[in-house]
């Protein structure tokens, strides 16, 4: 069983970020000066910046979200306090309106354009789930920009994923069945005990989703399905840390192993955890901080 500290840490992360495929927990921001917007041509991308302003840049890329994680800005800052002590932390949202046919590669291009506008020349890059796919693409498109790469609950393609999971999410999203979508998410991503403990929070998380939210969700889901970096990922040359889960029922437990084999990199596999291990494992950010320090 988790200790009280572990449960509290998990709840903070759950309420704050839910950074995997359907990471949808959100609240209405009060006069929130944490949320900023960068404009690249006709596209707009929201982002958070917090932590040590003169520290090295640490960028977080979230996964597929029904609703923007920006609504949980204050919670995100609290959840990442450990890294914010030493790093200038950025969390980038997706562009506000995703076009038809939007790809992971184009997401990477848009994020790099945001980096350019903000003067981010060298970053430590952390990508979670779909964000990890975007992070791989950034490291391949602009290797000189990435000082280190942290890949969390992600994959080089969906070869080991369960197609039924994606098909169910797609069907429920098309039906605009928010409560069923959130239930399917919770059951697929978390361990049964964690889901049971926070079921009410998870089911309530999608409230207020708009038509634009659903459209972006479905476009991003298709981008995930089409993503395949298997022939290129071995070209990534920066230090890489892969964090996976032995019971990942979304992308498959072999997904992390494939990345490790291709990259010959440092890794840790959490046995007994599922895709949402980043919300459940109490030492998750501690491991990342140690990797960044070269420990």
CA angle in degrees (0–180, nearest 5) for 265-266-271: 120
Question: Distance between CA 171 and CA 217 in Å, rounded?
Answer: 12
Residues sharing a CB contact under 8 Å with residue 266, sequence separation 6 or more, in sequence order: 239, 240, 241, 242, 291
Q: What is the mean pLDDT of residues 82-110?
A: 96
| Band (32; pLDDT cuts 50, 70, 90) | low
Q: Check whether 6 has a pLDDT greater than 60.
A: no
**Residue 119: exposure state from Cβ atoms within 10 A (0-12, 13-18, ≥19):** exposed
Residue 218: in which H helix or E strand, if any? helix 211-226
pTM, two decimal places? 0.91
Q: Check whether 100 has a pLDDT greater than 90.
A: yes
pLDDT tens-digit series, residues 186-240? 899 999 999 999 998 888 878 899 999 999 999 999 999 999 999 999 999 999 9
Q: Check whether 24 has a pLDDT greater than 70.
A: no
């Amino acid at each position: 069983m988790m200790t009280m500290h572990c449960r509290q840490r998990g709840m903070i992360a759950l309420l704050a970020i839910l950074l995997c495929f359907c990471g949808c927990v959100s609240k209405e921001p009060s006069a929130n000066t944490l949320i900023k917007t960068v404009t690249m041509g006709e596209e707009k991308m929201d982002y958070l910046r917090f932590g040590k302003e003169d520290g090295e840049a640490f960028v977080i890329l979230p996964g597929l979200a029904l609703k923007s994680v920006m609504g949980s800005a204050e919670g995100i800052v609290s959840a990442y306090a450990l890294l914010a002590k030493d790093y200038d932390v950025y969390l980038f949202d997706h562009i506000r309106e995703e076009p038809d046919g939007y790809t992971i590669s184009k997401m990477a291009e848009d994020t790099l354009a945001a980096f350019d506008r903000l003067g981010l020349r060298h970053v430590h890059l952390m990508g979670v789930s779909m964000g990890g796919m975007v992070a791989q693409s950034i490291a391949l498109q602009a290797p000189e920009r990435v000082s280190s790469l942290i890949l969390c609950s992600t994959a080089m393609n969906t070869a080991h994923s369960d197609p039924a999971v994606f098909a169910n999410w797609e069907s429920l999203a098309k039906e605009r069945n928010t409560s069923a979508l959130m239930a399917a998410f919770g059951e697929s991503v978390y361990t049964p005990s964690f889901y049971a403990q926070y079921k009410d929070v998870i089911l309530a998380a999608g409230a207020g989703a708009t038509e634009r939210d659903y459209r972006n969700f479905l476009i991003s889901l298709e981008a995930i399905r089409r993503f395949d970096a298997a022939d290129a990922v071995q070209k990534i040359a920066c230090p890489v840390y892969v964090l996976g889960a032995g019971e990942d029922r979304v992308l498959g437990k072999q997904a992390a192993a494939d990345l490790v084999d291709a990259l010959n990199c440092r890794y840790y596999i959490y046995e007994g955890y599922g895709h949402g291990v980043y919300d459940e494992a109490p030492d998750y950010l501690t491991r990342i901080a140690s990797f960044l320090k070269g420990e």
